[in-house]
Amino acid sequence: MTAVIASAAAAAAAALVVFAAGFAVYALLEPLIGAAGAAGSVALIAAIGLGVFALVLQQRAKKRAEEAALAQARLTEEAQFSLAGIARDRPLLTLALTALSGLVAARNPTLVREVMNIVTRFQR
């Protein structure tokens, strides 16, 4: 609960600082360029600050996404246990499994049909 209160107090203090800085810029520019020009200048400064803040956040998010993609690629390389990897590493085993599955399909076509129905249900 105290963390929430402290965060709210910090956010209120930050808002107060931004408001005070905007008023200070307005008070500085108002005698030079008039009330409308000073207000426009304060709005422009705020928009530029917001744009810079958004760019910084975007770059951080992009960096995190790149790091996540890199970690996923490393994980994929480390866990190279797939059917293609087995087929490439052990071609004789692949040939034996293919022949065995052909024999099973020739002897039990209904079993193969049921397995194919199950597989196609999960692909949709």
Secondary structure, 3-state, 77-111: HHCCCCHHHHHHHCHHHHHHHHHHHHHHHHHCHHH
Q: Which domain holds residue 98?
A: 83-124
The reply to whether 75 and 91 lie within a common domain is no
Confidence class for position 81, pLDDT limits 50, 70, 90: low
The reply to whether 66 and 88 lie within a common domain is no
pLDDT tens for 23-79 read: 898 898 888 898 888 889 889 888 898 899 899 999 999 999 999 988 888 877 766
The reply to whether 2 and 60 lie within a common domain is yes
Number of domains in the chain: 2
Task: Summarize the confidence of residues 107-124 as an average pLDDT.
Answer: 81
The reply to whether 68 and 92 lie within a common domain is no
The reply to whether 61 and 99 lie within a common domain is no
| Per-residue confidence (pLDDT) for residue 103, from 0 to 100 | 85
The reply to whether 26 and 44 lie within a common domain is yes
The reply to whether 100 and 63 lie within a common domain is no
The reply to whether 31 and 90 lie within a common domain is no
3-state helix, strand, coil in the chain (%, to 5): 95, 0, 5
Please check the confidence at residue 83 and state whether its pLDDT lies above 70. no
The reply to whether 49 and 110 lie within a common domain is no
